Copies of this chain bind each other. A is one copy, B any other.
């Protein structure tokens, strides 16, 4: 996941992101370290929050935005 990179580019902390997504800071940390992975619903929440495609979030494309 490109989560850490995206989050940092927006300049927000794990804690702030966690609050925005109604989860915990440790959960975000574990997504970023790859220790755990989000389910689909969470994946989509993250992509939507940052306004990027899931494919981009998963490092499957260089283009951040999904096609409509």
**A residues touching B (Cβ–Cβ < 8 Å)?**
37-40, 43-44, 53-55, 58, 60-63, 66-68
Are B60 and A54 interface neighbours, CB within 8 A?
A: yes
Query: How many copies of the shown chain assemble into the complex?
Result: 2
A21 to B23, alpha carbons, bound, how many Å? 32
Residues on B with C-beta less than 8 A from A54 are: 54-55, 58, 60
Residues on B with C-beta less than 8 A from A44 are: 58, 60
Question: Which of B39, B60, B66, B67 is A37 in contact with, Cβ under 8 Å?
Answer: B39
Q: Which residue of B lies closest to A41 (CB)?
A: B37
Are B66 and A55 interface neighbours, CB within 8 A?
A: yes
Q: How far is the CB of A38 from chain B (nearest CB, A)?
A: 8
